[in-house]
Amino acid sequence: MNKKYILLFFYFCFLVNTTYAQKNHTQELLDSAKTLFNSTKDLYANELDTFDFKHIAFLLNQVLQVEPNNSEALYYLGYTYSRINASDGRGIISMNKDLVIQTSDCFEKLIQTSPKYTGEIIALDPYSKMTAEWGSLAMCYLFNHKPDSAQWAFNEAKQRGGLSSFTLEINRKTLDACAPNSILISSGDNITILLWYLQEVEHYRTDISVVDISLLNTTWYPKYLSKNKNIVFDLPENILDTIDYMPWMDSLITVGDFSWTLKPSLYEQYILRGDRVLLSLIKANNFKRDIYFTASFYSHQQLSLEDYLSNYIVVKKLCQSTPKDLPYDIYKNKISEILQLGSVLNPNSIDQIHTYNLYRYDIVMQMDNYFKSNELKKTKELMIVFDTYANDKRMEYDYKSLSDFVVDLKSQLKIKK
C-alpha cells in the first residue's frame, strides 16, 4: 500500500477516535450538569441560596464550546442562569437584568435551532420559561416602583417570542370569566405572567386582583398585594411576615356562614405558609368580593375547597352554597370559542398543548356526564363541537385513553339513538 494512503488512513482513525472521545466527554459533562441541577429539587430554601449553580453553568458552557447547538445544554444553561438570578420566588424582587438577558439568549437560540424541544423538561418549556423570566423581571421593576422599566420588560418578552396569541387570548377569557372587582387566584408562571401583562400593558380588566398562589409563600408578595392590588388579610403584617409551614390535621374552618374541612396539603401532615396566607385572605374577604381559581390548579393548592367550586371552564368560582356550573347553551358557546384557539396554538410548545388539552378533557367530561344522564341531544351537539375543533387530525391526543373514550362514545351514540 502507498505510504501516503497509510498515513491518511491512520490520520482518519485518529480523527474518528478523537471525535468519539470528545463526544463522550461532552455527554459526561452534560450528564453531570443535569444530575447536579436535578439534585436541587428537594433542597430547602437556605440550601438553594448557597448552592453552586455557577459550577453547573461552567460545565454546560464547556459542552456548548464543543456542541454550540446542543439543545439540552442550552435548555439547562438557561435554567441555570435563571437560578443564579433568583433561586425561587423570594429572589424576584432583586433580579438582575443582564442575567435575564443571558437566560433569554439561551432559550432564543434553542428555539431557533430546535423549535420543538424534545429533551428533558425541568418545569416549563423554552417558550414558557422565556415568558416567566421576563415577566418576573417586570414584577421586580413594579415592586421597586419602576413602571416604565416593567413595561420595557413585558415588551421584551413579547418581542422575543415569549407571549403567544394563544396564551394571551386564553388569559383574556380567564379575566372575562370573572365578575367585576373580584379576586383571581392563579397558579403557574405561564398563567400569572400573562395576566400581569394584560393588566399592566394592555390595562385589561384591572378591576380584578390577581394573586399568584406560589408567591404567597414569600414575605414580599403579600405586602405588595396589600399596597397595590386591594388585597386584605385578617392577620397584621408583622404576624403575616413570620408565619411558616406548620403541622396540621383535618380541621373545620368557618368564614361567616360558610364552613369546610381543611386538610393537610403537604405529606398529609402539614400546611404551607402559602396555605395560611391564602386562608387569611379568604377570612378577611368574607365573601365580600367573588373569588375565583384559574383552571390549572393542583387540588392540594386549593385549601380543600374543591367541592365548593363552580366550573366556568377557564376559572372555578368559590361558592358558599352548592356549586352550579354554566348552563348548557353558555357552556357550549364558550367551550367552542376556546377550542377554536387551537388554530393559533404553537405546536412546538408542550405547555400550550397541555393547556389546550385541559379544555379538550373538559368537553369530554361534559359529554360523558350528559350521556350518562341520557341527554343524547346535548352529547351529540358537543361531539360535533369536539370533532370540528379538537379532533386528533387537528392535534394528536396526548393519551390513548382519550382516543379510546371518544371512539367508544361515538359508537354508543350510534347505538343509542
Q: Where are the beta strands (DSSP E) in 337-412?
A: none
d(CA 361, CA 382): 12
CA distances (Å), 19 to each of 16, 25, 61, 176, 372, in order? 5, 10, 18, 57, 62
User: Domains of the chain by range and CATH?
Assistant: 22-159 (1.25.40.10), 165-324 (no CATH), 329-415 (no CATH)
Question: Which residues, at least 6 apart from 51, have a Cβ–Cβ distance to it below 8 Å?
Answer: 40, 43, 83, 87
d(CA 350, CA 114): 13
Span between the terminal Cα atoms of the chain, in Å = 83
d(CA 13, CA 21): 12
The DSSP letter of residue 117 is -
* Beta-carbon count within 10 A of 323 CB: 15
CA distances (Å), 268 to each of 244, 250, 292, 300, in order? 16, 9, 25, 10
Sign of the Cα pseudo-torsion (61, 66, 71, 73, in order): negative
Q: Cα torsion at 308, 192, 129, 85 (round to 10°)?
A: -120
Contact 30, 60 (CB under 8 A): yes
Per-residue confidence in pLDDT tens, the chain, 417 aa: 555 555 444 444 444 444 444 567 899 999 999 999 999 998 988 999 999 999 999 999 999 999 999 999 999 999 999 999 999 999 999 999 999 999 999 999 999 999 999 999 999 999 999 999 999 999 999 999 999 999 999 999 999 988 999 999 999 999 999 999 999 999 989 899 999 999 999 999 999 999 999 999 999 999 999 999 999 999 999 999 999 999 999 999 999 999 999 999 999 999 999 999 999 999 999 999 999 999 988 888 999 999 999 999 999 999 998 898 899 999 999 999 999 999 999 999 999 999 999 999 999 999 999 999 999 999 999 999 999 999 988 888 888 888 888 999 988 888 665
Contact 208, 184 (CB under 8 A): yes
Question: Which residues, at least 6 apart from 417, have a Cβ–Cβ distance to it below 8 Å?
Answer: 376
pTM for the model stands at: 0.92
